[in-house]
Amino acid sequence: MNDPLAAFLRHLSVERNASAHTLRSYRSDLTDFQRFLIERGIAGFAGADSRVVRAWLAALHARGLDPASIGRKLAALRSCSRFLVRRGVLERNHAREVRSPRQPKKLVSFLPTDEATQLVEGRAIGGASRPRDVAILELLYASGLRVSELSGLDVDALDRTDRAVRVLGKGRKERIVPFGEQAARALDAWLSLRGEQAGALFTNPRGRRLTVRSIYTIVRRSARAAGITRPVSPHTLRHTFATHLLDGGADLRMIQELLGHSRLSTTQRYTHVASDQLMKVYDRAHPRAQPATSEVKNAVSQPESRVRNRAPLQRAAHVSSRAGVPPLQ
């Protein structure tokens, strides 16, 4: 095999149906490894044993890369080496013998309901691009799409009657995601300005498809205009979508399908529901958590407790109206 890296990338593109973004990431990571081998006079992948792989990881650490980036590069090398073993180019996958760096456990960043509402309603956004920007914010929060998925949407992917969007996700896997009434109104307002012609759903003033970087800029600028001081990105709205659905009582498997996760373990990152919300759910659901009859009579004179107990259901209904998911009954 003259060019193992080119053969592996062709395998990803043709047989695995990998996206252009995935191919760029693999090419970047594996080219970095090849450069490391050349600098040390090592003859390609065949000359790289586990000690060489560990030395590469140490060099990445010395360059200041974080454990997540190093782990991603090691995973790319493992995948490529596995492919080369199957093709008979390598005898062993030495990258499998090297342990991935320990990943710090970080809770995903999300916005509370009031800040999310303030952001997506876009009351602080002005200018001719406001209808487009509000439609972007509403759809991100209502559907939990990845920013690359949103950027790649065409007008014909929208089902405005059933309020759903057809998405081409990672691995070119297609899924249908519903969106709520507010997002539908925002999209109608944008399309009345853009026009109903086929093509990219979200465009710049020159009529070209908005890039991922442009959408990042729109979200960050809108967050600053809304007075939100914490860092906000399109992925923050994806985290917010999943967290608010889970907080409102949605099933984890359903959230997995909506997000397009291939593994449930990825979706389980969103189980960081606040302890007070967990206690409210427990109090509603567990038969021994309810007060005795005499205590209920005494509680009649405390209306504030009834209002407090309605809050989770009210919040679930609010989130569901935007996400297009039936509220809890």
Give the pLDDT confidence score for residue 289 in this predicted structure. Answer: 66
Alpha helices in the chain (DSSP H): 4-14, 20-39, 50-62, 67-86, 113-121, 130-143, 147-151, 181-194, 212-225, 234-247, 252-259, 264-267, 275-285, 293-299, 303-323
- What are 157-203's pLDDT values in tens digits? 999 999 999 998 877 788 999 999 999 999 999 999 999 899 999 99
What are the CA-CA distances from residue 174 to residues 45, 169, 171, 179, 326 (Å)?
Answer: 35, 6, 9, 16, 22
Has residue 72 got a pLDDT over 80?
yes
- Up-side HSE of residue 172: CA atoms within 13 Å toward CB? 10
Q: Report d(CA 68, CA 76) in Å as an integer.
A: 12
Mean pLDDT of the residues in the chain = 84
What superfamily in CATH does domain 113-269 come from?
A: Intergrase catalytic core (1.10.443.10)
Has residue 326 got a pLDDT over 80?
no
Has residue 275 got a pLDDT over 60?
no
Residue ranges covered by each domain of the chain: 4-97, 113-269
Give the pLDDT confidence score for residue 204 in this predicted structure. Answer: 94
Q: Would you say 110 and 208 are in contact if contact means Cβ atoms under 8 Å apart?
A: no
Give the pLDDT confidence score for residue 300 in this predicted structure. Answer: 42
Confidence class of residue 73 from pLDDT cuts 50, 70 and 90?
Answer: very high
Give the pLDDT confidence score for residue 85 in this predicted structure. Answer: 95
Q: Which fold has domain 4-97?
A: DNA polymerase; domain 1 (1.10.150)
- What are 22-51's pLDDT values in tens digits? 899 999 999 999 999 999 999 889 999 999
Confidence class of residue 268 from pLDDT cuts 50, 70 and 90?
Answer: confident
User: Which residues form the catalytic set?
Assistant: 146, 170, 235, 238, 261, 270
- What are 85-109's pLDDT values in tens digits? 999 999 999 999 999 988 777 667 8
- Report CA torsion sign: 151, 184, 143, 112: positive
Share of the chain above pLDDT 90, in %: 58
